[in-house]
Amino acid sequence: MTWREHHERSDAHAWDADIAKARGDIDSARRSFALAAQAEETAIGEISPNKARTYGVTVVSAASLYREAQLATEAERVAHTYLASGLLPEFAKTQLRELLHALWDEQARAAAGIDLAEQPLQFSVRGEMIFRGVAPLLLIEGIAKRVESMLYRVAELEQKYNHRLRGQPSKEIKSLIQPWLVQSAPGSYQFAITLRRPIQPPLLQAAEEPLAPARILERLMEIMQMSAKSPEDGLPQLVSDDAYRRTFLTLTRDLAPRGSTYQSLVISREGQSTDLILSSETRFSLNEAIRNIRRSVKDVTVELREYRGTLRAVDLNRDSLRLDTGKGECRINGVGDAVDDVIGPMMNRPVIVTAQPQLHSHPQFIDIEPDD
Amino acid sequence: MPPDDTMQATHGNELDATRDGACACVIAAVELVAGLVVISRARQGSGADYYVAPPGTDWEDLEELTRLEVSSIDHGVERQLRARMRQKIAQITAGAENSRGIAGVAAFRELQIRLATVEPT
């Protein structure tokens, strides 16, 4: 048989595997990927290394297919054998090294007994101040904290909990939802967040089965995409509860850049070619959606005004917050439905508060965002 | 032809369906605009690369085929579309096989498909 015949046989098995995977039949998918890998490896022997592109692509394809079949040892064997051969073109060596890097990360986690969900959310921060492997700590910390908050919120939404305004998630939610930061492939500045699979699922009041980590990650990606894509029409169909929807919009908005520290945040999941790009334009449209939700319950004829300063205090008894504007203190009332995990990260940091000025009292709170 | 229950179930995951839809749209666009059809696929990472050529091409390996790099965004302004296209072009040229390639980006909300040809350096 020729290279083409072996390669086409491999591709046929790979198609079967993709279809089985889409159906959720993981065992069939693995078997088909294994057959595809074996056929592809056989194809390598039928092509001369002088045909550098075909040779390199086929070697990488064989190793990738073994990895998809979860045959890590075979994937390593192929990668090491051909890396050592001296026959591979440069592009194939680079791709095989990246594949080995990913495999070793997976094996290290498995050896440590840490069972992490596959297809983590990948975050890529881009901008003039962002370099390969280097980014401001506060920026990355802020993104990670907001994503953590959203993961808890998705779990609470799925479990039909009442929307939480104050305090931390319940112990049950925290035991089920354990976000982990994982090393991502080299890039501008990239990191990934996934969930650890619970060891012993605890009992939950409203749940019959534990929340699947993969489902939570998928749902969060859907919510963030819909928040950015169609915050006023599409998102209500995905998240019917007003309070949850407002919180997701606010947290997604706070992930998007204002354009100074970074220009865009790209969020993706492995295996899916559709990325979510959050930019300053996204922030603008989300601001409008958030303010329209809040504004609908207040006087829509009054102009909104921005108040800039450092957030110094949130007084729950008086339902207000206090800003240090640099020229004195400014009190804003009516923060009641602003949630802790939105306001918390902004304490003692520069913020912009949008509020409705009042004739005879303090301004009424509409929205708050970091001023970075 | 509207999708039947089996098709709906197979593509029930919205994100996977968006990805697969993007591939289908870009592949169709490449055929309409450039007269090239998918001849072969090869696995790379957790995805697949497509190789295109004129229909009826007699091929025995990938040497003369054109690589097709596909991506999509659900929504985006012009700047984001251009940025995604630059990213895909960079993937074809930077450190990879030095050969002809086509980058295709599908922007669903804007109802646009952008294609760019990359020539070997």
pLDDT in tens, chain A (372 residues): 999 999 999 999 999 998 898 888 999 999 999 999 999 999 999 999 999 989 999 999 999 999 999 999 999 999 999 999 999 998 899 889 988 988 887 787 777 777 778 778 888 887 766 666 667 777 888 888 899 999 999 999 999 999 998 888 998 899 888 998 876 655 556 788 888 887 655 555 444 455 788 889 989 998 998 898 888 888 999 999 988 999 999 999 999 887 677 778 888 886 565 678 888 888 888 888 888 777 655 555 667 899 999 999 988 777 899 999 989 999 999 887 677 788 888 888 899 999 988 888 899 988 898 886
Q: Is B49 exposed, middle or buried (0-12, 13-18, 19+ CB in 10 A)?
A: buried
A contacts of B75 (beta carbons < 8 Å)? 228-229
Q: Do A274 and B46 touch (CB under 8 A)?
A: no
A contacts of B81 (beta carbons < 8 Å)? none
Q: How far is A173 from chain B (nearest CA, A)?
A: 25
Nearest Cβ partner of A274 from B11, B46, B74? B74
Q: Return the percentage of chain B with pLDDT > 70, whole number.
A: 71
Q: How far is A279 from chain B (nearest CA, A)?
A: 8
* Residue B58 touches chain A, beta carbons under 8 Å: no
Spell out the residues 6+ positions from residue B54 whose beta carbon is closer than 8 angstroms to its own: B35, B36, B37
Quick one: average pLDDT of B79-84? 73
Q: Do A68 and B46 touch (CB under 8 A)?
A: yes
Of residues A10 and B82, which shows the higher confidence score?
Answer: A10
Sequence ranges of the domains in chain B: 5-118
SS3 annotation, A114-177:
CCECCCCEEEEEECCCCECCECCHHHHHHHHHHHHHHHHHHHHHHCCCCCCCCCCCCHHHHHHC
Per residue in A172-181, pLDDT (tens digit) is: 899 888 998 8
* Residue B46 touches chain A, beta carbons under 8 Å: yes
Query: Phi first, then psi: what are they for A354, rounded to 5°?
Result: -95, 130
Q: Do A222 and B41 touch (CB under 8 A)?
A: no
Q: How close are the terminal C-alpha atoms of chain A, in Å?
A: 62
- pLDDT for B49 equals 80
Report the chain A residue with the minimal C-alpha distance to residue B13.
A22
Task: Indicate whether B119 pLDDT > 90.
Answer: no
- pLDDT for B95 equals 47
A345: which DSSP letter?
A: G
Lookup: tokens for A271: 């295996």
- pLDDT for A279 equals 82
Query: Which helix (H) or strand (E) covers residue A109, if one does?
Result: helix A90-111
B115: which DSSP letter?
A: E
Query: Which of the four CATH numbers 2.30.30, 2.40.360, 2.40.50, 3.30.450 does domain A305-370 have?
Result: 2.40.50
Q: Do A53 and B63 touch (CB under 8 A)?
A: yes
Q: How far is A282 from chain B (nearest CA, A)?
A: 8
- pLDDT for B21 equals 80
Q: Do A60 and B79 touch (CB under 8 A)?
A: no
Angstrom distance (rounded) from CA A283 to CA A352: 13
Residue type, A194: T
Q: Do A54 and B61 touch (CB under 8 A)?
A: yes
Sequence ranges of the domains in chain A: 3-111, 121-295, 305-370
Q: Do B83 and A277 touch (CB under 8 A)?
A: yes
Nearest Cβ partner of A228 from B14, B44, B75? B75
Note the pTM of the prediction, 2 decimals.
Answer: 0.64
- pLDDT for B26 equals 92
Task: Indicate whether B35 pLDDT > 50.
Answer: yes
Q: How far is A60 from chain B (nearest CA, A)?
A: 6
Integer CA distances (angstroms), A177 to A115, A195, A196, A215, B24, in order:
13, 7, 7, 11, 36
- pLDDT for A42 equals 97
Q: Do B47 and A218 touch (CB under 8 A)?
A: no
Mean residue pLDDT of chain A comes to: 85
CB pairs < 8 Å spanning A and B:
121
Q: Choosing among A66, A274, A280, A282, which should be mutated to test the B contact, i.e. which has the most B CBs within 10 A?
A: A274
Q: Do B22 and A229 touch (CB under 8 A)?
A: no
- pLDDT for A207 equals 44
A contacts of B104 (beta carbons < 8 Å)? none
Angstrom distance (rounded) from CA B88 to CA A125: 17
Query: Phi first, then psi: what are they for A314, rounded to 5°?
Result: -120, 120
Q: How close are the terminal C-alpha atoms of chain B, in Å?
A: 44
User: What interface predicted TM-score (ipTM) does this complex get?
Assistant: 0.82
CA torsion angle for B67, A266, A65, B36 (degrees, to 10)?
Answer: -20
A contacts of B83 (beta carbons < 8 Å)? 264, 277
Spell out the residues 6+ positions from residue B8 whose beta carbon is closer than 8 angstroms to its own: none
Strand A320-324 relative to strand A329-333, pairing: antiparallel
Is A158:A211 a contact under the CB 8 Å cutoff?
yes
Nearest Cβ partner of B60 from A4, A22, A61? A4
Q: Do A58 and B42 touch (CB under 8 A)?
A: yes
Report the chain B residue with the minimal C-alpha distance to residue A89.
B97
Q: Do A22 and B42 touch (CB under 8 A)?
A: no
